[in-house]
């Protein structure tokens, strides 16, 4: 019998009351008060997270989350840490870029300034653009990716739509998916979990989290991988946003599994 959502939340929350290696380092501060607050992070973390989320994805999730939260003073340190842990400059750049359409371009631009400072310190040359589409084909290519994740009806524009609805539908397909999901370096599976992470950090996006839970499941990410990504960022997002995201993920995943079970029975 499947666990209820409440039981799942309780079990997972208990599972992460261990040491989250590396998180406290991001919060390192010179003041005594800062050091005390940093030390409080040491007992949260990692076996559930490490079991379900590889080290590279963890680094990318943290960068995406920090971009949404405008944690610019910490992004440089996180970038240096990611480089030391084997991530490429291209992967780091794409994690920040992926956040842009979901948390806002100005936040991503400011985050990239912090990333560029780290690159400069490491004497890393300008990273080549990973774009694969043009102005002429980004909508078509974006719609293709979008429908491969969410189904053939998504992104349909009909004559009876209000003009404003047509515009936002074009934006979602052409920009969110055309300009970003088609870029090189990160695959769609990784981009979907980063999108989920940014939505969690934004707060108040439970409806979109539900939709992207379906998207994550469709591209091969598991419920546990999504929950691990959310739990990884408790120190950054706080508990209210974390619990709201976990509830949205569990509800959507339960509905997704039920729908698939019923489809198989037929």
Per the structure block, which two tokens stand in for 15?
């599972």
Q: How confident is the model at residue 266 (pLDDT cuts 50, 70, 90)?
A: low
- Report CA dihedral (55, 218, 102, 227) to the nearest 10 degrees: -50
- Taking the C-alpha atoms of residue 229 and residue 21, their distance in angstroms, rounded to an integer, is 15
The ranges assigned to domains in the chain are 5-17+52-130+183-265
Going by CATH, does the domain composed of 5-17+52-130+183-265 fall within 3.40.50.720? no
Q: How confident is the model at residue 37 (pLDDT cuts 50, 70, 90)?
A: confident
How does pLDDT run across 221-253, given as a tens digit for each residue?
999 999 999 999 999 999 999 999 999 999 999
- What was the pLDDT predicted at 45? 60
- What was the pLDDT predicted at 39? 73
Return the higher-pLDDT residue of 63 and 25.
63
201 neighbors 65 (Cβ within 8 angstroms): yes
CA distances from 44 to 13, 23, 48, 71, 151 (A): 10, 9, 11, 20, 38
Average pLDDT over residues 196-215: 98
CA distances from 189 to 28, 68, 219, 221 (A): 32, 20, 6, 7
- Taking the C-alpha atoms of residue 211 and residue 245, their distance in angstroms, rounded to an integer, is 12
How does pLDDT run across 87-128, given as a tens digit for each residue?
999 999 999 999 999 999 999 999 999 999 999 999 999 999
Q: Is the pLDDT of residue 211 over 50?
A: yes
Provide, rounded to the nearest whole percent, the portion of the chain with pLDDT above 70.
Answer: 83
């Amino acid at each position: 019998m499947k666990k209820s959502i409440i039981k799942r939340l309780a079990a997972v929350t208990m599972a992460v009351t261990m040491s989250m290696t590396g998180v406290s380092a991001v919060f390192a501060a010179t003041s005594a008060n800062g050091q005390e607050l940093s030390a409080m992070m040491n007992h949260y973390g990692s076996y559930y997270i490490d079991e379900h989320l590889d080290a590279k994805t963890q680094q990318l999730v943290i960068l995406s989350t920090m971009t949404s939260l405008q944690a610019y003073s910490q992004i440089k340190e996180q970038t240096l840490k990611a480089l030391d842990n084997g991530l490429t400059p291209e992967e780091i750049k794409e994690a920040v870029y992926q956040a842009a359409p979901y948390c806002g371009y100005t936040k991503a631009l400011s985050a990239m300034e912090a990333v560029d400072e780290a690159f400069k310190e490491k004497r890393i040359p300008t990273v080549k653009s990973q774009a694969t589409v043009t102005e002429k084909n980004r909508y078509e290519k974006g719609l293709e990716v979008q429908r491969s994740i969410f189904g053939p009806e998504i992104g349909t524009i009909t004559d009876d739509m209000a003009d404003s609805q047509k515009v936002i539908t074009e934006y979602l397909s052409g920009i969110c998916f055309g300009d970003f999901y088609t870029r090189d370096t990160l695959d769609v599976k990784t981009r979907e979990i980063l999108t989920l992470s940014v939505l969690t950090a934004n707060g108040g996006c439970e409806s979109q989290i539900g939709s992207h839970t379906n998207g994550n499941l469709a591209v091969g990410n598991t419920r546990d991988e999504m929950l691990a990504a959310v739990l990884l960022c408790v120190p950054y997002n706080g508990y209210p946003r974390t619990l709201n995201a976990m509830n949205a993920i569990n509800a959507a995943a339960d509905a997704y599994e039920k729908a698939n079970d019923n489809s198989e029975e037929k």
